[in-house]
Structures are given as C-alpha cells and as structure tokens.
Amino acid sequence: MDALHAKYPFFEGARDAVAGASASLPELVADDAPAVERARERVERALLEGTVEPETGEFGGSAADVDARAELLSYPIARILVSLLDSEPAIEKYAAAEASTALDRLRADLERDDGLRSTPTPTVDLDDVLAEFDLSTAVRAEPVRGSRDPSHYRIAVGPYLRLSSPSWGDSWRLVNRALADGAVRVSREELLEALGAAIEARVREGLPFELDADEGIAAELESRVAELKRLLSERTYAGPIDVVAPDLFPPCMENLIGKAERGVELSGPESFALMAFLVGIGMSPDEVVAFCADTSLDAEGIRYQTEYLADDRGTQYPPPTCETLSNYGICHNEEDHMRVAADPLSYYETRVKAADDGDIVDWREEHGRAATGSESDDGEPAVEGEEPVEEETAER
Ligand code: SF4
C-alpha cells in the first residue's frame, strides 16, 4: 500500500489501489474495519471543522502514521457516507474540506521538498500534481535567477477560467491580470489555490452516489449515517444571533482577533474558528472583510472561507467546540467557560441574552459601510505589488 495514495486519496493511482485492495468495500463495512470508523470521522470533521485530518493529528504518510490502508480505504467509504446524508450542502462542504486538507498537505510537501530533498515521508512535488490534473502543458514557471523555486507561473487562460471563480475577488478577474500569449500570470500561492479548486472538483465528481438506503452497503452503514445525522442536528445552530457586539465576544475569539490585529498570521484552525464564529453570529462575507480590515487576514482568504461557511441553501455549521479549540491550543478555558457552554457561539449567545438591550452596540450600526457590503471600487490593481504588465487584457 503506497502511503502517498492514503495522503492524496483522490489521485487516479489511489483509485486503482482501492480497486486492488484485498477486501472489497462491502466486506470492510460488514467487518466494521478501522477504515469505517475513520470514514465516519472524516465526514464528521469535514462538516463540523472544515478538515479531514484525523483527530489524533495530521496524517503525513510516514510509517509512524496511522494505518495507511485504513486511511486510504476510508476515503471511498466517506464518499458513500456523505452521499447517504442526502444533503447537497453537506456534499459541498465535504468536498471543500477534502480539498483544503489536501492543499495543506501539498504546501507541507512543497516546503519539505524545498528544504530537504531526501525525506522519509512520501511527498509529491508540483509537477506531480500538475500532471495528475492534466495541467503539465497548461502551466509553466517563470524563469528565476538565484532562487530555486519560481514565485510566479503562467497558466493557460482556459484552465485559469475553469479553475478560478470571480467570487474569489476582483484580483481574479481576467481584466485585472497580466495576460500574454494566451496565458495568465499567477503567483505560486494563487496557483495552489487553483489546484485546490481542481481537487475539490475531483472530490465532488460523481457525488452523491445513487444508493438504496435499505440495501447492501447503505444498510450496513445505517447506524453510522444515523450517528452523523444526530450529531449534525445537535450541533446545528438554529439561526444566527445576528448581533455583532465585540465587547461580548468570548476570550478565545478576542484573542484571535487581537493576534490578527498585531499582524500575526493565524493558523488554519485559528482562522477557521474565527471565520465560523463571525459567520455564526450573522455577519455577511462583506461585513467580515470590513471587520478584519486592519488585521493579518487577507480579504480574499476571508471571502473564500466565509462564503464556504455562509451557505444560504443549507445548514449553517457552527465553529468547533470549546473542547476542540482547547486541543488546538486556541482556548485555555478562560473563566471556566466550558461550564457555561460547549462552544463559543453558545457562550456568546449566553452573554448577549444576559446583557441589557440598551447596553448592546451592534458594530454594524456603527459601520454602515460594511453592512451595505460596499467595497473599494477604485480600479486599482487588486494584487499588491503587482503591476498590470499587460500585453493584452480581456473582460471575464
Ligand atoms: S471555553 Fe469556549 S468560549 Fe470560552 S474561551 Fe474557551 S473556546 Fe472560547
């Protein structure tokens, strides 16, 4: 079993590895193999926390990591489980979480690859991933001097349009891009974001499976599906509090905002927890962008994450629980909050209810600009530091 397939289970090679596994998926499910529990965890964490990393820690693919076979086989079973949840938003959130986790792993691989070529853990490089998505000829690196890795790439306009979205912000619009010889200039990080979209589309492909809930593997998975549905309904927030009173935010969120205001970059779990909280209290993506304007959080990242969280077609998923935030070192159970509520939203709701209405000042009333969602539209290049070195431009 190639641990790389377990790390990137949506690769074509991983599909072949699953097909060649000694036991079929129905057999694994019937035997309640470790892959089944890991699949349940995969879906639960995808929907509630935006990641599919095991609760026990990141899967790096080394021999010391969790059972690579269970990790690999959990992916197709997770796809069956999420299909059985019978919820389009759940499928979208699941695919987004798989893509987000894969991108984190890819970034780590590239860093490791940059720093130390001989690494004991199986890693991919950028060329492997481009080849996986048939992008080898569509993407070319800009030549660099002195530094081994290019900072910018040119991506053919067709794949660029297919893998990006105008909803990612003005900087992604073709009109704001350097375009030459049918190729668009992107930074290395932007190329990774586009690859994230390719991964998400690959995961999303074919979902949901058409399964008769009363038969075969679906029937065998009934209790796992029921468990997930129960958990989701318990954890589902009934509706936004819809009051933005920063003075009443719980300490964990105050700490994260303070950290970002000092210019410190938030980790993935930290920014996910903060965004989920702000969306959970009823803020729109525009409002969150305005609220975080003077912080280390960048507008495009905020918009991408909040739009993913603020799904008006389906269930609103709350931020991680106090216990999970404690595991990530985000919460220190200040003032013993865990006695009061199980998650920051519930804690905030308790504080809002306890406050006198007259004492609550809604941040949105003081910042009408944010509430209307109006943004700067001054026509400046959206990517800082990049001149539009344009030979040709086009409207998207
Ligand atoms: S106990 Fe919960 S609400 Fe309080 S600081 Fe910790 S994570 Fe936040």
Complete DSSP assignment for 16-74: HHHHTSSS-HHHHHHTT-HHHHHHHHHHHHHHHHS--S-TT-----STTSS-HHHHHHH
Domain ranges for the chain, please list them: 1-86+208-235, 237-361
Which token pair is 1? 């079993």
- What is the reported pLDDT for 377? 37
Choose which residue among 257, 270, 335, 347 to substitute to test ligand 1 binding: the one with the highest number of ligand atoms within 8 A of its C-beta: 347
Query: Helices then strands (H, E): number in the chain?
Result: 19, 4
Q: What is the C-alpha to C-alpha distance for residues 318 and 49, in angstroms, rounded to an integer?
A: 9
Q: What is the pLDDT of residues 338-349, one digit of tens each?
A: 666 777 888 888
Residue keyed to tokens 């290019």 = 150
Q: Is the CB of 236 under 6 A from ligand 1?
A: no
Q: What is the pLDDT of residues 101-128, one digit of tens each?
A: 999 899 989 887 555 544 556 889 999 9
pTM of the model: 0.64
Cα distance between the two ends of the chain: 44
Question: Measured in angstroms, how far is the CA atom of residue 322 from the centroid of ligand 1?
Answer: 5
Choose which residue among 328, 332, 333 to substitute to test ligand 1 binding: the one with the highest number of ligand atoms within 8 A of its C-beta: 333
Q: What is the C-alpha to C-alpha distance for residues 235 and 316, in angstroms, rounded to an integer?
A: 10
Question: Measured in angstroms, how far is the CA atom of residue 18 from the centroid of ligand 1?
Answer: 41
The pLDDT-based confidence of 373 (bands split at 50, 70, 90) is very low
User: Quick one: average pLDDT of 347-369?
Assistant: 81
H runs (alpha helix) in 222-262: 222-235, 251-261
- What is the reported pLDDT for 284? 86
